[in-house]
């Protein structure tokens, strides 16, 4: 397993992400310090497709209260990868 495949944690499969995949955009959860160029290189190596652009979204951790206790919901980093037209990724295997 190469270093690039470790940068991508998992695909993000939601209703909105599925709608985006119809227009050639795919959403992945990535490691917190991953850059756009690293994501592009990893997607190219893992899925054998040509990414055109990568957009990164950081979701910060949130404090949640329940009765008398407070907890911290973990944050994450999402990457939205746009592919060259005509290419697609089959996420359900």
pLDDT per residue rounded down to tens, the chain (93 residues)? 566 668 999 999 999 999 999 999 999 999 999 999 999 999 999 999 999 999 999 999 999 999 999 999 999 999 999 999 999 998 875
Give the domain ranges of the chain: 3-63+72-83
Give me the phi and psi of 68, to 5 degrees please: -105, 5
Q: Tell me the pTM.
A: 0.86
Task: Answer yes or no: are the C-beta atoms of 54 and 36 closer than 8 Å.
Answer: yes
Handedness of CA 40, 1, 26, 15 (dihedral sign): negative
Q: What dotted CATH number matches 3-63+72-83?
A: 3.30.70.330
């Amino acid at each position: 397993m190469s270093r690039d495949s470790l940068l991508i944690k998992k695909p993000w499969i939601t209703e909105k992400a599925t709608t985006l995949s119809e227009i050639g955009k795919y959403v992945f959860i990535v490691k917190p310090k991953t850059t756009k160029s690293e994501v592009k290189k990893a997607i190219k190596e893992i899925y054998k497709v040509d990414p055109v652009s990568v957009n990164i979204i950081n979701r910060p951790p949130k404090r949640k209260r329940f009765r008398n206790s407070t907890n911290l919901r973990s944050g994450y980093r999402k990457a939205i990868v746009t592919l060259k037209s005509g290419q697609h990724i089959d996420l359900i295997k």
